[in-house]
């Protein structure tokens, strides 16, 4: 039997099992038939966030940000480029600290932007502040 990864759909959050020997970047959701990888970060509220870090097998890189934050605005297009580079090995997500204050408090987000990398439901690394694409990619690859 082939090992399969549990990958949550970015559109409907349904759990999908993708065989390890199949190209994940072309996989579609069994429920809503949308692509499992779009080359863009997904926006997560608290409920969706916990579902993705606890039930999916992919590492998840969360960008905790705010709409009024200048460095966050500078970081946004870099985070999109990172999604294109890191998928399908890593899921990238954005979490608004304005809309998800309790979630930001739970993870002790004291500066923004803050990138937090999760694997198997646990935080494995975090970094604060805006950075260029090469630095972000190197940091993620160092921790996955």
- Active site residues per annotation: 69, 72
Give the whole-angstrom CA distance, residue 44 versus residue 129.
20
Give the whole-angstrom CA distance, residue 49 versus residue 37.
17
Residue given tokens 């204050």 in the structure block: 101
List b or e across 111-143, with b for residues whose CB sees 16 or more CB atoms inside 10 angstroms: ebbbbbbbbeeeeebbeeebbeeeebbebbeee
Give the whole-angstrom CA distance, residue 59 versus residue 70.
27
């Amino acid at each position: 039997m082939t090992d399969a990864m549990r990958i949550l759909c970015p559109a409907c959050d349904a759990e999908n099992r993708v065989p390890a020997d199949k190209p994940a970047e072309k996989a579609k959701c069994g429920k809503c038939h949308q692509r499992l990888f779009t080359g863009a970060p997904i926006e997560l509220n608290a409920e969706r966030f916990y579902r993705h870090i606890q039930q999916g097998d992919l590492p998840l890189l969360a960008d905790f940000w705010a709409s009024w934050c200048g460095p966050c605005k500078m970081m946004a297009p870099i985070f999109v480029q990172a999604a294109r580079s890191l998928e399908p090995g890593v899921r990238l997500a954005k979490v608004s600290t304005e809309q998800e204050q309790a979630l930001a408090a739970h993870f002790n987000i004291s500066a923004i932007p803050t990138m937090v990398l999760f694997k198997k439901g646990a935080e494995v690394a975090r970094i604060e502040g805006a950075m260029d694409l090469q630095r972000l990619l190197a940091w993620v690859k160092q921790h996955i």
